[in-house]
Chain A
Amino acid sequence: MTEERFWLLFSARLSGEATPEELAELEVFLQENPDAHLRTGMIENIWSVNPPLSEDYKEAAFNKHLQRMSNHFSEPVLQYESEASEEPVIEKKPRRVIYRVIGWVSAVAAACVLGWYAYCYFPFASEDVNTAQAQNTVSTKKGSKSKIQLPDGTQVWLNADSKITYNENFQDKLREVQLSGEAFFDVVRDESRPFIIHTNVIDVKVLGTAFNVRSYADEKNTETSLIRGSVEITLRNNPDKKIILKPNDKLIVDNTEAKAETASADIAPDKHRSNRSSLLTLRKVSFKENESGALETLWVKNKLAFDKEPMEDIALKIERWYDVKVIMPDDRIRKTEYSGIFENENLEQLMEALQLTGNFHYRINKKEVTIWP
């Protein structure tokens, strides 16, 4: 066998492309030349090693990619694609693909033009145009959380049992989303297009900042906690009243009061919990030692936190976090306050820990937790 033939067969074997005849031929040669084994063995070693990039690197690259992709669709220019389509020829129906891509682009262009006309000529109907538009909805079930990125790059962490909705025209003039439940927003700054979050009782308008909004329909209050930047909050029933928050401010709006809102909205400085009946309460976000973030945002880091909260509020949080039902047949336990931060604890561990600090009994039966004094 010539040297050349040997390497040809050997490389074909390495890449799994050798025919059975070729394999046999190589085998015979190697048996007759045992020395060659050492060399081939070493190359085989080198061949088989193929360390993949780390998952972290891929993850980061993928996130960056999603960001670029969303930017791209607002301003579609592929950076490295030349004007003339450099599509490789696809075996089947190659032309069609190219035309269809063009078709797709022009369809989008046409839609944009039409949208603009509709907007210009039917200003009064614009509301209808908006509602007729396709909506994107992201929602989470009880017991699960999610993180999403909006087309403008804004990051949203969605807590359990929450829903966020935005229109297809999200990026046009305003960046508007509808929220029910709890979400932490890290908004990309864009002064020309304010970011507005609509909830049942308040609208939160921001430019670029990070903050948490908690607005569950079954809770007493709607809370907005600002981490950095600034936000402007208006009550849906009283749009003239604007409240500006500064970093580490937390605004609590009483849901029932807000719905029966009269024009006289006053901010009551936080005195005590008994002051619940006032419509608006302004206080500071809470920090705990050894925790880097504000208590209000710890859920983003998968930590369940309570800060002197009555059991009835805690029960709601537990129900969402673990997707269970909490039953308190005896009312006395409802108002007892508890604090604590729990990370990666399961329901049993959490209940066990809470029980250590307070006088109550509990029983877990599948998806039902019963608590009594």
Chain B
Amino acid sequence: MKAYKELYYQLFDGLHRFSYSMVRSKEVAEEIVSDVFIKLWQIRARLGEIGNLKVYVYTITKNFSLNYLQRTYKNAPVSIEEVEVEPIVEMRNPEELFISAEIMQTIRQAILQLPPQCRLVFQLVKEDGLKYKEAAEVLNISALTVRNQLAIAIRKLGETLPAPVQKLIPATKLFSAS
């Protein structure tokens, strides 16, 4: 049970975020993650047979989330490419990054404008630290596609940032005696 709890704590963030980006309700996402863990509990004796647990749980989470969408909405998407994805790029404290709230907003906008699959790739690789190969398996696409999609996402992000001439922290501010 202790190991189970640890696993839950370890995976909850990522799975919840992943599910939320598809179902867009914290409560539903929480229930879906709960269902995923009930599933894990049921098959706990055979977990050793699963090649990559991370890929496995993300995949069930994806399936459960899609099931939920199909059940809840009439014109439900049947595959992940059609899901309207809302990535949560959480940045608690922009000041820490020397980024203004305005720039933060631009970044969020940029991410929102990415195609769904691109957004999911960005989220799985950035937020959840999945390898290209793992994200590819979860989303049922090739690793090469993951690689390219991520590059597109990062490029879009880079292009929305202010021009490179503008220094982030003026050197004077850093070194002047206060």
Is B154 in the interface zone, CB < 8 Å from A?
Answer: yes
Minimum C-beta distance from A310 to chain B (A)? 40
Given the complex, which residues of B lie within 8 Å of A14, measured CB to CB? 126, 154
Report A39-52 CB contacts with B as 1/0, cut-off 8 Å. Answer: 11111011101111
- B59's partner among A3, A12, A35, A88 (CB-CB below 8 A) is A88
Bound form: Cα–Cα A28–B146 in Å: 25
A41 touching B31 by the CB < 8 A rule? no
- B99's partner among A17, A42, A92 (CB-CB below 8 A) is A42
Q: Kindly report which residue of chain B lies nearest to residue A34, judged by CB atoms.
A: B164
Minimum C-beta distance from B68 to chain A (A)? 5
Is A68 in the interface zone, CB < 8 Å from B?
Answer: yes
A15 touching B126 by the CB < 8 A rule? yes
Minimum C-beta distance from A362 to chain B (A)? 38
Is B145 in the interface zone, CB < 8 Å from A?
Answer: no
Given the complex, which residues of B lie within 8 Å of A104, measured CB to CB? 42
Q: Kindly report which residue of chain B lies nearest to residue A60, judged by CB atoms.
A: B30
Given the complex, which residues of B lie within 8 Å of A46, measured CB to CB? 89, 91, 97, 99, 107, 157
Minimum C-beta distance from A108 to chain B (A)? 10
Minimum C-beta distance from B55 to chain A (A)? 8
A53 touching B16 by the CB < 8 A rule? yes
With A11-B154, A42-B99 already in contact, the answer to whether A64 and B60 are too (CB < 8 A) is no
Is A62 in the interface zone, CB < 8 Å from B?
Answer: yes
Within 8 A of A (CB), among B30-50: 30-35, 37-39, 41-43, 46, 49-50
Given the complex, which residues of B lie within 8 Å of A50, measured CB to CB? 90, 126-127
B158 touching A39 by the CB < 8 A rule? yes
Bound form: Cα–Cα A3–B148 in Å: 13
- B46's partner among A10, A62, A97 (CB-CB below 8 A) is A97
A to B contact number (C-beta, < 8 Å): 153
Is A147 in the interface zone, CB < 8 Å from B?
Answer: no
Given the complex, which residues of A lie within 8 Å of B56, measured CB to CB? 88, 90
Is A267 in the interface zone, CB < 8 Å from B?
Answer: no
Given the complex, which residues of B lie within 8 Å of A121, measured CB to CB? none
Is A100 in the interface zone, CB < 8 Å from B?
Answer: yes
Interface residue tally on B, bucketed by range: 35 or more
Could you say which of A76-84, A254-262, A271-279, A282-290 contacts chain B? Answer: A76-84
With A15-B150, A38-B167, A51-B91 already in contact, the answer to whether A79 and B35 are too (CB < 8 A) is yes
A61 touching B30 by the CB < 8 A rule? yes
Bound form: Cα–Cα A38–B98 in Å: 12
Minimum C-beta distance from A90 to chain B (A)? 5
Given the complex, which residues of A lie within 8 Å of B165, measured CB to CB? 35
With A45-B97, A69-B37, A81-B67 already in contact, the answer to whether A8 and B49 are too (CB < 8 A) is no
B30 touching A39 by the CB < 8 A rule? no
Is A93 in the interface zone, CB < 8 Å from B?
Answer: yes
Is A101 in the interface zone, CB < 8 Å from B?
Answer: yes
Bound form: Cα–Cα A47–B51 in Å: 28
Within 8 A of A (CB), among B124-155: 125-127, 131-132, 147-148, 150-155
Bound form: Cα–Cα A53–B154 in Å: 24
A51 touching B42 by the CB < 8 A rule? no
Given the complex, which residues of A lie within 8 Å of B32, measured CB to CB? 80
Bound form: Cα–Cα A69–B30 in Å: 13
With A7-B158, A11-B150, A81-B67 already in contact, the answer to whether A47 and B126 are too (CB < 8 A) is yes
Minimum C-beta distance from B72 to chain A (A)? 10
Is A58 in the interface zone, CB < 8 Å from B?
Answer: yes
A35 touching B31 by the CB < 8 A rule? no
Minimum C-beta distance from A77 to chain B (A)? 10
Bound form: Cα–Cα A101–B45 in Å: 11
Could you say which of B6-14, B79-87, B170-178 contacts chain A? Answer: B6-14
Bound form: Cα–Cα A189–B34 in Å: 24
Is B101 in the interface zone, CB < 8 Å from A?
Answer: no
B12 touching A68 by the CB < 8 A rule? no
A62 touching B99 by the CB < 8 A rule? no
Given the complex, which residues of A lie within 8 Å of B148, measured CB to CB? 8
Given the complex, which residues of A lie within 8 Å of B13, measured CB to CB? 52-53, 58
Bound form: Cα–Cα A114–B126 in Å: 51
A11 touching B153 by the CB < 8 A rule? yes
User: Most chain-A CB neighbours within 10 Å: which of B38, B51, B55, B63?
Assistant: B38
Bound form: Cα–Cα A3–B158 in Å: 11
Is B102 in the interface zone, CB < 8 Å from A?
Answer: no
Interface pairs (22), CB distance under 8 Å: A4-B151, A8-B148, A10-B151, A15-B132, A15-B150, A39-B158, A41-B168, A42-B161, A43-B161, A46-B99, A53-B12, A53-B16, A64-B30, A65-B34, A69-B41, A79-B31, A79-B35, A86-B63, A86-B67, A97-B49, A97-B50, A100-B43
**Further 10 A-B residue pairs, CB within 8 A, beyond A8-B147, A62-B5, A92-B49:** A4-B155, A7-B152, A38-B167, A50-B90, A51-B91, A61-B12, A61-B16, A62-B9, A82-B67, A92-B50
**What are the 10 tightest A-B residue pairs by CB atom distance, in nearest-first order?**
A88-B59, A91-B51, A7-B155, A80-B64, A11-B154, A8-B151, A65-B34, A35-B164, A51-B92, A86-B63
